[in-house]
Amino acid sequence: MGLRIAIVGYGKMGRSIERLAAEQDCEVARIFRSTENANAVALNRDSLFATDVVIEFTMPQAGPQNLLRLIEAGVPVVTGTTGWFAELPQIREVCESKNGSVVWGSNFSVGLHHFRATVAEAARRFAREESYDAWGWEIHHAAKKDAPSGTLLALAGDISRSGYARPVSRQKGLFRISRDRGRAAIARSRTNFRKRRSQCNSLDAVRHWLRRFSQIFR
């Protein structure tokens, strides 16, 4: 029998995960919609008793509360919600004290993680080139709710942590990280044609990690 998952959040990502679950040997045991889960009230041991793992895709204002309730309920969770990472120290502390399991990330695309490594290396090299400035620009589908996205914020963080101390301009909008000097520009772009793969990767995290570890993972 496959893993029994609960989905918290039934937006575009939640519905896609429901549709793809069977392909990843997962059974959807429960779906929690926002209408029944205000302030995470629906998440408890009783409502999750038939669940092996929870996948959480909601909104920044709801994510931390959901995670705290899920950790308290003793159910491993994979979260793809972004925009809440300022609360990560508290989540980490609670997770470790409760011996919980949380996998989180600003983006579950393998290609994006390779892109981030490329951007970080470029930032390290351009840190010494004072005449170049860095900026980020992204374009999303009309249903995208957070802007700038968690992914663009993560890319900007990668640039800063790589020794590039100058400001990184972020433009709402393909992720495009560029450096320019007058009319000369160097750009690195990534267009996400494989959103379905990203959704499958969140299910991969469910199958391969959470049954083996009791920690918080990025």
Q: What does the pLDDT average to over 110-121?
A: 87
Is the pLDDT assigned to residue 135 strictly greater than 70?
Answer: yes
HEC string of the chain equals CCEEEEEECCCHHHHHHHHHHHHHCEEEEEEECHHHCHHHCCCCCCCCCCCCEEEECCCCCCHHHHHHHHHHHCCCEEECCCCCHHHHHHHHHHHHHCCCCEEECCCCCHHHHHHHHHHHHHHHHHCCCCCCEEEEEECCCCCCCCCCCHHHHHHHHHHHHCCCCCCEEEECCCEEEEEEECCEEEEEEECCCCHHHHHHHHHHHHHHCCCCCCCEEC
Is the pLDDT assigned to residue 117 strictly greater than 50?
Answer: yes
Query: Which is more confident, 175 or 35?
Result: 35
**Would you place residue 106 in the very low, low, confident or very high pLDDT band (cuts 50, 70, 90)?**
confident
Q: Which of 7-11, 55-59, 142-146, 163-167 has the lowest mean pLDDT?
A: 142-146
Question: Catalytic positions, please?
Answer: 140, 144
The reported pLDDT for the residue numbered 131 is 81
The reported pLDDT for the residue numbered 40 is 96
Measure Cα distances from 51 to 104, 128, 132 in Å.
19, 51, 51
| Domain 3-107+196-217, CATH number (from 3.40.50.720, 2.60.40.3950, 2.40.160.40, 3.40.50.2300) | 3.40.50.720
Residue ranges, comma separated, of all CATH 3.40.50.720 domains in the chain are 3-107+196-217
Q: Which of 63-77, 91-105, 186-200, 203-217 has the lowest mean pLDDT?
A: 186-200
Query: Which is more confident, 17 or 181?
Result: 17
Is the pLDDT assigned to residue 7 strictly greater than 60?
Answer: yes
Is the pLDDT assigned to residue 39 strictly greater than 70?
Answer: yes
**Per-residue pLDDT tens over the stretch 153-206:** 888 888 889 988 888 776 544 455 555 555 444 445 544 434 444 555 566 665
Residue ranges, comma separated, of all CATH 3.30.360.10 domains in the chain are 110-192
Q: What does the pLDDT average to over 117-144?
A: 82
**Top-level CATH class of 110-192?**
alpha beta
The reported pLDDT for the residue numbered 68 is 97
pTM of the shown model: 0.72
pLDDT mean across residues, the chain: 81
Q: What does the pLDDT average to over 21-42?
A: 93
